[in-house]
């Protein structure tokens, strides 16, 4: 790319916002020029705004240290500075709905990590390897809302990433799925900072995460759905039962999955081949953040593990293992991904790359 596309991050001082800056500091397509957060951070240099609460394992990138943080609610401050807005703001749902639409209405391509718009009929919930065709709703989204250049797309809940690519690989190979039972073991970073109190997690597991089970059961249907007119209609053919737990792991969500195929079922060797040979549009386009391969199968009986496998593919690959027959359904396996990279900032960056590649951002 001859000239980098200028981007902004709103919610830049939070953990997801910090991950954006860590991942974007040497991006070949994007240049961060605008940072915004809450009014408490507005007017400060970025380094001062995150002093004492920079949680990445690298130093604050020099390029961002002296950028003056703006108030995220003041959309006009971003106008004329950038084309893409990565949204990681922490507000109530109603405020996020309005703010993200306001940015899109001002001509920005908004790529959101928030859940507020995931149920909005004309807003695609994107996992780039699965439903990249859902971006085709953008012209209708723009027409319906009177947006000339603006658009709004969101990424899904982080916990579903551990199993959506592995099960989509089956569907793509001609093996539709009837039902799934899954249990997630979700890292503390998924709760943001400071997350659960240490006294709640040391020598303990939290067996209930507000809203996580509903998201795990509902969002896959929209991702696997289809465009009809100016809305995305969910595919509810897969019945999902989810149990979501918080565990004392810093990064890396695990899903233990049992599933039943809707008809014929592949053999074990064929399943491994399906996973290992899986590729999709982001890999074909050689997008900068696209992992190659997107699914990694581990033969070892004790893998995947968060500490050993979460950084696979620069944190963007899904690692699967422990494939075996299921005594109740057909098969069972374990999937793992890096929840703050593939499941958050990295997944949104890959979506933005796809928007550029498909011509929705010039």
The stretch 307-313 carries a mean pLDDT of: 97
Higher model confidence: residue 179 or residue 1? Answer: 179
What is the reported pLDDT for 2?
A: 74
My answer on whether 74 and 121 are in the same domain is yes
What is the reported pLDDT for 169?
A: 98
Report how far residue 169's alpha carbon sits from residue 14's, in angstroms, rounded to the nearest whole number: 33
The stretch 292-296 carries a mean pLDDT of: 98
Report how far residue 293's alpha carbon sits from residue 276's, in angstroms, rounded to the nearest whole number: 7
CATH of the domain at 255: 3.30.360.10
Give domain status of residue 256, yes or no. Answer: yes
Give domain status of residue 362, yes or no. Answer: no
State the pLDDT confidence band at 194, using cuts at 50, 70 and 90: confident
The DSSP letter of residue 310 is T
**Residue from 60, 50, 51, 49 nearest 22 by CA:** 60
State the pLDDT confidence band at 97, using cuts at 50, 70 and 90: very high
Element at 41 (helix H, strand E)? none
My answer on whether 128 and 222 are in the same domain is no
My answer on whether 103 and 147 are in the same domain is yes
Phi/psi-derived region of residue 328, left when phi > 0, alpha when psi is between -120 and 50, beta in every other case: alpha
What is the reported pLDDT for 353?
A: 98
My answer on whether 283 and 243 are in the same domain is yes
Report how far residue 116's alpha carbon sits from residue 154's, in angstroms, rounded to the nearest whole number: 9
My answer on whether 233 and 352 are in the same domain is no
pLDDT (tens digit per residue) in 34-58: 999 999 999 999 999 999 999 999 9
My answer on whether 330 and 348 are in the same domain is no
pLDDT (tens digit per residue) in 99-150: 999 999 999 999 999 999 999 999 999 999 999 999 999 999 999 999 999 9
253 is catalytic: yes
What is the reported pLDDT for 362?
A: 84
Helix, strand, coil proportions of the chain in percent (round to 5)?
35, 25, 45
The β-bridge partners of 295 are 318
Give domain status of residue 236, yes or no. Answer: yes
What is the number of domains present in the chain?
2
87-96, 137-146, 304-313, 321-330: least confident range: 87-96
Element at 178 (helix H, strand E)? strand 177-186
My answer on whether 234 and 307 are in the same domain is yes
What is the reported pLDDT for 257?
A: 98
The β-bridge partners of 186 are 246
Host domain of residue 146: 5-157+344-357
CATH of the domain at 124: 3.40.50.720
Element at 226 (helix H, strand E)? strand 226-228
Tokens for 80, please give them. 């004329």
Give domain status of residue 272, yes or no. Answer: yes
Burial class (CB in 10 A: 0-12, 13-18, 19+), 115: middle
Catalytic residue among 132, 134, 253, 337: 253
Catalytic residue among 158, 244, 337, 338: 158
134 is catalytic: no
Give domain status of residue 13, yes or no. Answer: yes
My answer on whether 324 and 352 are in the same domain is no
User: pTM of the predicted model, to two decimals?
Assistant: 0.96
My answer on whether 28 and 72 are in the same domain is yes
Query: Who's near 153: CB < 8 A, 6+ residues apart?
Result: 109, 110, 111, 112, 123, 124, 125, 126, 135, 138, 351, 355
Residue pair 355/361 in contact (Cβ under 8 Å)? The answer is yes
Report how far residue 7's alpha carbon sits from residue 74's, in angstroms, rounded to the nearest whole number: 16
Report how far residue 105's alpha carbon sits from residue 150's, in angstroms, rounded to the nearest whole number: 6
Residue pair 218/235 in contact (Cβ under 8 Å)? The answer is no
The stretch 278-293 carries a mean pLDDT of: 98
Give domain status of residue 208, yes or no. Answer: yes
Give domain status of residue 287, yes or no. Answer: yes
For 191-230, b/e burial (b = at least 16 CB within 10 A) is eeeebeeeeebeeeebeebeebbebbbbbbbbbbbebeee
Element at 182 (helix H, strand E)? strand 177-186
My answer on whether 152 and 164 are in the same domain is no
Average pLDDT along the chain: 96
At 121 the three-state DSSP class reads: coil
My answer on whether 201 and 317 are in the same domain is yes
Distances (CA, A) of 329 to 262, 274, 320: 11, 19, 18
**Residue from 334, 333, 290, 279 nearest 314 by CA:** 290
Tokens for 332, please give them. 């069972």
My answer on whether 353 and 299 are in the same domain is no
First to last CA, the chain: 11
Residue pair 15/113 in contact (Cβ under 8 Å)? The answer is no
Distance of CA 151 to the CA centre of its chain: 17
């Amino acid at each position: 790319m001859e000239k980098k596309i200028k981007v902004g991050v709103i919610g830049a001082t939070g953990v997801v916002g910090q991950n954006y800056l860590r991942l974007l500091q040497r991006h070949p397509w994007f240049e961060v020029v605008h940072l915004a957060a809450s009014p408490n951070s507005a007017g400060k240099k970025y380094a001062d705004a995150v002093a004492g609460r920079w949680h990445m394992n690298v130093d604050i990138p020099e390029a961002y240290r002296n950028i003056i943080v703006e108030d995220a609610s003041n959309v006009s401050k971003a106008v004329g500075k950038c084309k893409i807005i990565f949204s990681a703001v922490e507000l109530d749902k109603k405020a996020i709905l309005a703010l993200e639409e306001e940015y899109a209405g001002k001509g920005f391509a908004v790529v959101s990590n928030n859940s507020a718009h995931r149920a909005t009929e004309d807003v695609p919930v994107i996992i780039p390897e699965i439903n990249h065709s859902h971006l085709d709703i953008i012209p209708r989204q723009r027409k319906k809302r009177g947006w000339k250049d603006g658009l709004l797309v969101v990424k899904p809940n982080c916990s579903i990433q551990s199993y959506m690519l592995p099960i989509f690989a089956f569907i793509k190979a001609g093996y539709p799925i009837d039902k799934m039972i899954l249990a997630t073991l979700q890292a503390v970073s998924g709760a943001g900072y400071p997350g659960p109190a240490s006294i709640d997690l040391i020598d303990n597991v939290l067996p209930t995460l507000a809203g996580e089970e509903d998201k795990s059961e509902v969002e896959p249907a929209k991702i696997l759905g289809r465009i009809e007119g100016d809305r995305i209609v969910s595919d509810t053919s897969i019945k999902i039962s989810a149990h979501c737990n918080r565990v004392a792991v810093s990064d890396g969500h695990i899903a233990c999955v049992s599933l039943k195929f809707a008809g014929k079922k592949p053999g074990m060797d064929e399943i491994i081949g399906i996973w290992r040979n899986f590729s999709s549009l982001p890999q074909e386009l050689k997008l900068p953040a696209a992992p190659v391969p997107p699914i990694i199968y581990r033969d070892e009986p004790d893998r995947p593990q968060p500490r050993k496998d979460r950084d696979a593919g620069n944190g963007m690959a899904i690692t699967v293992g422990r494939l075996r027959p299921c005594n109740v359904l057909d098969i069972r396996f374990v999937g793992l991904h890096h929840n703050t990279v593939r499941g958050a900032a990295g997944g949104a960056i890959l979506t933005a790359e796809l928007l550029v590649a498909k011509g929705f951002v010039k």
